[in-house]
A and B are shown apart, each in its own frame.
Chain A
Amino acid sequence: GEDVEQSLFLSVREGDSSVINCTYTDSSSTYLYWYKQEPGAGLQLLTYIFSNMDMKQDQRLTVLLNKKDKHLSLRIADTQTGDSAIYFCADSGGYSSASKIIFGSGTRLSIRP
């Protein structure tokens, strides 16, 4: 079945760039998403990328998609303490109304001074 994988932890110094990686298995994925979850809260959509794109930039966030390798990354420039959270990668299987949205296990990003 479909699977989405991420590393569990990432620690970066404040002001550096953070790069969170994700791999997925569903070759029919249409949309790929990045969500942020702060402690005790629900999920906030950060950005998403359509599968025919290879890059999307939105202020400090840059998403890179390598469809051949089924690899997605999220780069956060100038990482701040407010960026501490769990980041989830997710993929949606296609145009079919029956498509599922599958999440990775989440990457906990911690910021050190």
Chain B
Amino acid sequence: SQTIHQWPATLVQPVGSPLSLECTVEGTSNPNLYWYRQAAGRGLQLLFYSVGIGQISSEVPQNLSASRPQDRQFILSSKKLLLSDSGFYLCAGAGSGNTEAFFGQGTRLTVV
């Protein structure tokens, strides 16, 4: 079965510090991968998606970037965090044709 591993579960970082959130996928090859952010009390905003190694599409301009160095690895990064980067970040993956999107457990990021 398909599984998304996402870590860490919680993170508190000071403003201006760097960020690296990692997501790995098991149980499928060549998945479409996604990073979403959920701000407190709000819906899911698509940040980045990737259809293959090195292929990243950005949905919104922001302080964040994403990379896909391996087929099953998706990384969300920032060089300098802002207070507004606080939120719940979810990694998701879907097989060919997006028949089902499966999610990691999320990372709650608090920027202080």
Task: Show the binding face of A for B, using Cβ within 8 Å.
Answer: 30-31, 33, 35, 40-45, 48, 88, 90, 92-93, 95, 97-106
Instruction: Please name 8 further chain A to chain B contacts, defined as beta carbons within 8 Å, in addition to the given A41-B105, A97-B96, sorted by A numbering.
Output: A43-B92, A44-B103, A92-B101, A100-B46, A101-B94, A101-B98, A103-B46, A106-B42
Residue in A88, A92, A95, A98 whose beta carbon sits within 8 Å of that of B44 in the complex:
A88
- Interface size range of chain B in the complex: 20 to 34
Residue B111 interfacial (CB < 8 Å): no
Chain B contacts for A104, CB-based, 8 A? 43
Tell me the smallest distance from the CB of B25 to a CB of chain A, in Å.
Answer: 14
Residue B24 interfacial (CB < 8 Å): no
Chain B contacts for A88, CB-based, 8 A? 43-44
With A43-B90, A97-B32, A104-B43 in contact, is A48–B100 under 8 Å at CB? Answer: yes
Bound-complex Cα distance A93 to B44 (A): 17
Q: Which chain A residue shows the least CB distance to B92?
A: A101
Chain B contacts for A33, CB-based, 8 A? 100-101
Bound-complex Cα distance A35 to B98 (A): 14
Tell me the smallest distance from the CB of A5 to a CB of chain B, in Å.
Answer: 10
**B101 and A97 contacting across the interface, CB-CB below 8 Å:** no
Per-residue contact bits, chain B 31-56, to A (CB 8 Å; 1 contact, 0 not): 01010100000111010010110000
Which of B44, B100, B103 has the largest number of chain A CB atoms within 10 A?
Answer: B44
Bound-complex Cα distance A101 to B100 (A): 10
**A97 and B51 contacting across the interface, CB-CB below 8 Å:** yes
Chain A contacts for B87, CB-based, 8 A? none
Tell me the smallest distance from the CB of A109 to a CB of chain B, in Å.
Answer: 14
